[in-house]
């Protein structure tokens, strides 16, 4: 174990220009500059960001399948799988509830919406009609039913994370009964998993181009005007996310035996990519690979991360609380403590029911306001212009939340190699 620690600590550092996080940062800066000074050209850069996200998404389903099957095979007992899943769900529920409560505090103190006196009749209700419709069609029952794919291949074709996870666990549950015939299958899946990890490495090389295209488009379309008009809300939300990450995720990290700052530095590439693309899916395979490298048991990573992407949406929960209270303030809608407690209770369900839907955070907001019935649903048109800017903070928060969750559950389950973790974090 000592030799591993030494070799990892003395790992030679790459030149700055060869570091992926530096390349992504440069891509982001160039994208912002292009969006500011040549918005017409910047708006045409969207295909670069979309292409990178597609490259990542095509790998997500097979990576989850191979990681889960290979990891569970190493465990050997399905009851252990159930125990890991239960611990993960308990952790998710605690953290998302905290996020919903914490999100209410800064927005009530700062009150950026007070005095705006927005007339609902002046808002473009048609701009949010699709989000409201999707929210009505994707309740908790539909969400649970969709975990079972219509076809075996459909789970992989549609990229529904929980459906892929369901198929993976079901597949692994029958392998022990196959006896010696399961050995070549396990060997094949292990080899395929290693090949997929190499593919992830290749795809990540174009991440700077993806970050450049995504940010050039964002700044061109949604940047300056929206930022000036609703700047107080944006600043309040970023502050709220920062507080939650530093205080609550920092505490969880300490309880799991690692420091948050080193952890953030270790995942700096993924953080920058998520900030640029505003989707956590853009780094999911890379996140799973690096968590395993960090000493987190493959079985825990394979179960916690895909589940967390649907159930552990701390960033979305912070967004719901902050934006809902802001909309009440801006439209002069009475929204006292009892209504805010009701918002938290409703959000505990709606934040899960819209997972996996395109524009999930905004859909969740529509579903929450519809269910709560206090704040006019059409008022969300007020924040649609800055949603992408706020998404940079909420996706970052959810990314770190799921990474910390995997580490906490792994430590809780005894599946975290502390020596390997320390060596990797020190060498980052």
| CATH value at residue 82 | 1.10.3860.10
What's the structural domain count of the chain? 1
Q: Whole-angstrom Cα distance, residue 395 to residue 314?
A: 9
In a domain, 2, yes or no: no
Give first-to-last CA distance, the chain, whole Å. Answer: 18
Q: Where are the beta strands (DSSP E) in 49-139?
A: none
Q: Tell me whether residue 39 is exposed, middle or buried, using C-beta atoms within 10 angstroms of its C-beta: 0 to 12, 13 to 18, 19 or more.
A: middle
Distances (CA, A) of 92 to 66, 270, 314, 403, 408: 24, 21, 9, 12, 11
Q: What are the beta bridge partners of residue 296? A: 416
In a domain, 304, yes or no: yes
Q: Whole-angstrom Cα distance, residue 390 to residue 313?
A: 14
Give me 139's structure tokens. 């309740």
284 close to 309: Cβ distance less than 8 angstroms: yes
In a domain, 9, yes or no: no
Sign of CA dihedral 121, 124, 129, 135: negative
Residue 7: its pLDDT value, please? 42
Residue 4: its pLDDT value, please? 43
In a domain, 292, yes or no: yes
In a domain, 4, yes or no: no
Q: Which of 321, 296, 349 lies closest to 243 in space, CA to CA?
A: 321
DSSP 209-246: HHHHHHHHHHHHHHSHHHHHHTHHHHHHHHHHHHHIII
In a domain, 3, yes or no: no
Q: What are the beta bridge partners of residue 416? A: 296
* Enclosing domain of residue 206: 15-427
The values of phi and psi at residue 296, to 5°, are: -80, 130
Give me 72's structure tokens. 């569970």
In a domain, 47, yes or no: yes
In a domain, 6, yes or no: no
The values of phi and psi at residue 416, to 5°, are: -120, 120
DSSP code of 103? Answer: T
Q: What is the CA radius of gyration of the chain?
A: 22
Residue 399: its pLDDT value, please? 93
364 close to 152: Cβ distance less than 8 angstroms: no
pLDDT tens for each residue of the chain, 428 residues long? 444 444 444 556 667 777 888 899 899 889 889 988 888 898 899 899 889 888 888 888 888 888 888 777 655 566 777 888 899 999 999 999 999 999 999 999 999 888 878 777 666 555 556 655 555 555 566 667 778 888 888 888 877 778 888 888 888 778 777 778 778 888 888 889 889 888 988 888 999 999 898 888 877 876 555 455 578 898 999 999 999 999 999 999 999 999 999 999 999 999 999 888 888 888 989 999 999 999 999 889 988 998 888 888 899 899 999 999 999 998 888 988 888 998 888 888 777 655 544 456 777 787 788 777 788 887 887 887 777 778 888 888 999 999 999 999 999 998 899 999 999 999 87
Sign of CA dihedral 330, 336, 337, 338: negative
């Amino acid at each position: 174990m000592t030799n591993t620690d030494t070799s990892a600590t003395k790992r030679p550092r790459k030149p700055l220009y060869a570091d992926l996080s530096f390349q992504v940062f440069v891509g982001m800066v160039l994208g912002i500059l292009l969006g500011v000074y040549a918005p017409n050209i910047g708006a045409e850069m969207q295909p670069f960001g979309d292409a990178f996200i597609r490259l990542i998404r095509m790998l997500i389903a097979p990576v989850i399948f191979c990681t889960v099957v290979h990891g569970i095979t190493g465990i050997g007992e399905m009851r252990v799988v159930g125990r890991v899943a239960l611990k993960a769900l308990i952790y998710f529920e605690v953290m998302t509830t905290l996020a919903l409560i914490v999100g209410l505090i800064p927005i009530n103190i700062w009150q950026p919406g007070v005095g705006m006196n927005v007339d609902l009749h002046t808002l473009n209700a048609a701009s949010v009609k699709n989000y409201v419709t999707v929210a009505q069609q994707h309740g908790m029952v539909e969400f649970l039913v969709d975990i079972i794919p219509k076809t075996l291949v459909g789970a992989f074709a549609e990229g529904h994370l929980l459906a892929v996870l369901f198929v993976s666990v079901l597949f692994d549950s029958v392998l022990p009964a196959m006896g010696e015939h399961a050995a070549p299958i396990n060997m094949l899946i292990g080899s395929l998993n290693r090949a997929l990890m190499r593919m992830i490495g290749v795809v990540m090389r174009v991440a700077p181009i993806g970050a450049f295209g995504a940010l050039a488009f964002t700044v061109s379309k949604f940047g300056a005007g929206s930022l000036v008009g609703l700047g107080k809300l944006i600043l309040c939300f970023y502050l709220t996310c920062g507080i939650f990450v530093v205080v609550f995720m920092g505490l969880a990290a300490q309880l799991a035996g690692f420091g948050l700052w080193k952890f953030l530095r270790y995942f700096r590439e993924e953080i920058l990519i998520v900030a640029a693309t505003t989707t956590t899916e853009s780094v999911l395979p890379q996140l799973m690979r690096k968590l395993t490298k960090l000493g987190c048991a493959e079985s825990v990573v394979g179960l916690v991360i895909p589940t967390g992407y649907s159930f552990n949406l701390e960033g979305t929960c912070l967004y719901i609380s902050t934006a809902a209270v802001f909309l009440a303030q801006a439209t002069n809608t009475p929204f006292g403590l009892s209504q805010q407690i009701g918002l938290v209770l409703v959000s505990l369900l709606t934040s899960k029911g819209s997972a996996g839907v395109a524009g999930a955070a905004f859909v969740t907001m529509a579903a929450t306001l519809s269910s709560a019935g206090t704040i006019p649903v059409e008022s969300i048109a007020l924040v649609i212009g800055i949603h992408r800017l706020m998404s940079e903070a909420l996706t970052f928060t959810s990314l770190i939340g799921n990474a910390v969750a995997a580490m906490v559950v792994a430590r809780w389950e005894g599946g975290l190699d502390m020596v390997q973790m320390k060596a990797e974090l020190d060498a980052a």
